[in-house]
Every structure is written in C-alpha cells, then in structure tokens.
C-alpha cells in the first residue's frame, strides 16, 4: 500500500435514492461499501442488475459495493474492523425520512454517522443536526456532508468538492479519510448551522431562478436572483447562528450557483414547470424524485416570519407553490418593491 493511500473502511449508505447510490458508487472505489434500501423487491432487482435502474440508471456498481434490504446487516457492517478503524454510516434519506431512520438506529452501538439531506423538517422547523440531537443526543458523533453536487456527475467520477460539517473533529477526520480522494475533495467545517442553512435554502432559490428562466426573463434577471438569493440565505443563516464566511463557500455560494443554473437540478425544474403553468402535483409526479425546495419553502417562510427575517424571494416561491399566485403576478410584485441598500445582513434588510 502506498503511503498516501487511505486505509479501507467499512461504509454503509442508508438510502438507495439517486444521491445515496451515487455516493455509494464513488466511495466503493476505495472502500467496502453496503447500500441499503427498505424495499426488498427493489433492492433484489438492483443487486441482480448491479445498477439502480429506477433512480440512477446507467451507472454499473463496482465490485466492492454490496446491496441489501436487511437493516441489521447494513448497520453491523460498520462495526470496528480488525485494523481498529471505526466504520461510517451515511444517511441518504430526504429530510422527512431522517427522523424515522434515526429512531431505527436508536439504542444500537453505531459508530460515526453523517447525513446528506438538505432542508428543514416541516413539522418542527428543525435542521438535520437538530433532528439528530433530538433523537440520538450526543452519544454518537454526527455531521452533515454537503456541497455543490449532482448525483449523475459524482457517479460518473467527475470532480466534486464537498464539506463535512461537525462539532466533532474526530468525525470530520474520519469522513475526510473515508471520502476524500480520487476526484472527490472534502473540506472541513465546524459550522453545522451555516452549512445546513445554505444547503436547505438554496433549493428554494433554485425554484425562483428556474421560474424566471422559464419565463424568459433573461440572464440579467438570473444573476440578480442568485445574488439576492444569497443575501436571503445569509440573513437567515446568520440569524440562526451561522458564520457569514460559510455562505461565501462551497455550501453557500457554490451550492446556490450549481442548483440555480444546472439543468440536472430538480428544484430548478420545479420552477421551469411553474413557468409553464403546470400544477405542482403534476411537476412533482413528472420528476419522480423528491424536490426538497418544495416543503422547504413553506418551512422557511414560517421560520423567517417568526424570526422577523425579510425573505421576499422565499415568500414569493411559497406563494406560487401553496397560495396559487401566478408567476407573472409575482414578478410584477417583486419589481414594485421599494429600493433599499444592498447588504447581506442584518436581518432587518
């Protein structure tokens, strides 16, 4: 083994959607990986095809990637190996599925755990790390693995940069050792709030940008939306306790730019559908995947109202999604807003 080559680790990805599958494929190039999904029939089909034909078709599984619907087997795979290395659990569910998954893990002797989901829990307004603490407390090291990343590009082995955010330095080191390498770079942060707010609210801004693009409002409007969207993300994030520098990095500006402009973005496609006059139910059905910006828009609108944070773009997206406001009416309202000083903070702006 070369001196700079990381030791093989035992990694389990819990959730066989597109992003979970892509991460499993990427890390299985260097580690022993298990991909778990709750649907036994679907997982049997994936195991036979060696391809997730429903959520991420066209990306064959490497030999070191095993597939199972046995939850006990999947979790047990991450127990400490003969070399003394703790394994890594990666939760790859949507935000709505994180709490039930964590309850399934409660009481088990699990090692390090990170989550990939981006959003707020609608019923509680909690971020993923708050859900994690609510269910598992501080007994297990946890963190968010986030950043600008499309599943198809990661599975294809194209370059990607992510951030692992955790208050545990040991967990950050574990994730860097396991995931960093090849075409994937992993940076570290202790700003869980900032990283998670950036990852959540950028999805709402992608819906707004997709809608503007679908209406043919031009590149000037797109640039303005992304820039003012960053201001909204930063206002909310710093009010909640995030560091302003985080929003200039991968999980802030980086993720925002990718999701607002990339044609692989589900949330951008929601905005494009709204511009075409499609009903929300139709758009979501056509996607066939979860678009986190939809429930997030409602949760963030309510949270911002409670905190007194001005978020006109978020309010506009939520009004299109849930209040029946038409895109052209919303554009007229936004253009009629009074001028003000440009600033990223404070919340009163």
Q: What is the separation of C-alpha 295 from the centre of its chain, rounded to a whole number of angstroms?
A: 13
189 carries a ligand binding annotation: no
The catalytic residue among 202, 278, 326, 349 is 202
267 carries a ligand binding annotation: yes
The whole-angstrom separation of Cα 201 and Cα 19 is 18
Bridge partners for 34 per DSSP:
12, 66
55 carries a ligand binding annotation: yes
Residue 170, token pair as written in the block: 């040991």
18 carries a ligand binding annotation: yes
The whole-angstrom separation of Cα 181 and Cα 300 is 35
17 carries a ligand binding annotation: yes
Whether 149 and 162 have beta carbons less than 8 Å apart is answered as yes
255 carries a ligand binding annotation: yes
The whole-angstrom separation of Cα 112 and Cα 110 is 7
Instruction: Using alpha carbons, select from 152, 154, 246, 151 the residue that is nearest to residue 202.
Output: 246
118 carries a ligand binding annotation: yes
Instruction: Using alpha carbons, select from 265, 290, 268 the residue that is nearest to residue 55.
Output: 290
243 carries a ligand binding annotation: no
Rg (CA), the chain: 20
Tell me if the bond preceding 346 is cis, omega within 30° of 0. Answer: yes
122 carries a ligand binding annotation: no
16 carries a ligand binding annotation: yes
Bridge partners for 112 per DSSP:
88
Residue 20, token pair as written in the block: 């979970």
What DSSP string runs through 154-183? HHHT--EEEEEE-S-HHHHHHHHHHH-BTT
Q: Is 202 among the residues known to form the active site? A: yes
288 carries a ligand binding annotation: no
DSSP-derived secondary structure letter, 6: P
292 carries a ligand binding annotation: yes
147 carries a ligand binding annotation: yes
349 carries a ligand binding annotation: no
Annotated binding site for NAD(+): 15-20, 151, 266
Annotated binding site for NADPH: 19, 38, 55, 118, 151, 266, 290, 292
Annotated binding site: 15-20, 38, 55, 118, 147, 149, 151, 202, 255, 265-267, 290, 292
Annotated binding site for sn-glycerol 3-phosphate: 118, 147, 149, 202, 255, 265-267
Annotated binding site for substrate: 118, 266-267
Active site residues: 202
């Amino acid at each position: 083994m070369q001196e700079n080559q990381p030791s093989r680790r035992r990694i389990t990805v819990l959730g066989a959607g597109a992003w979970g599958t892509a991460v499993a494929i990427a890390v299985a190039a260097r580690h022993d990986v298990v991909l778990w999904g709750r649907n036994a029939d679907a997982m049997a089909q994936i195991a036979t095809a060696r391809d997730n034909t429903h959520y991420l078709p066209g990306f064959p599984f490497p030999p070191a990637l095993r597939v199972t619907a046995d939850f006990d087997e999947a979790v047990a795979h991450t127990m400490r190996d003969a070399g003394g290395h703790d394994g890594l659990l990666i939760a790859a569910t949507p935000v709505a599925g994180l709490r039930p998954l964590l309850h399934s893990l409660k009481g088990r002797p699990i090692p390090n755990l990170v989550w990939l989901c981006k959003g707020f829990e609608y019923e509680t307004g909690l971020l993923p790390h708050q859900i994690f603490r609510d269910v598992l407390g501080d007994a297990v090291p946890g963190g968010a693995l986030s950043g600008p990343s499309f599943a198809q590009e990661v599975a294809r082995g194209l370059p990607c940069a992510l951030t692992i955010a955790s208050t545990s330095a040991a967990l950050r080191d574990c994730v860097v050792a396991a995931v960093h390498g090849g075409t994937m770079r992993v940076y570290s942060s202790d700003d869980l709030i900032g990283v998670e707010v950036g990852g959540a609210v950028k999805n709402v801004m992608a819906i707004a940008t997709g809608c503007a693009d679908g209406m043919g409002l031009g590149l000037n409007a797109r640039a303005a939306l992304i820039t003012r969207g960053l201001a909204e993300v930063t206002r909310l994030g710093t009010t909640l306790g995030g560091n302003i520098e985080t929003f200039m990095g991968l999980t802030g500006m980086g993720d925002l730019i990718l999701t607002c402009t990339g044609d692989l973005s589900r949330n951008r496609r929601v905005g494009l559908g709204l511009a075409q006059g499609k009903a929300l139910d139709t758009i979501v059905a056509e996607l066939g995947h979860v678009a986190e910006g939809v429930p997030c828009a409602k949760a963030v609108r309510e949270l911002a109202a409670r905190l007194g944070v001005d978020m006109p773009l978020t309010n506009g997206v939520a009004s299109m999604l849930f209040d029946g406001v038409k895109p052209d009416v919303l554009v007229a309202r936004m253009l009629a807003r009074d001028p003000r000083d440009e600033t990223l903070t404070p919340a009163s702006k």
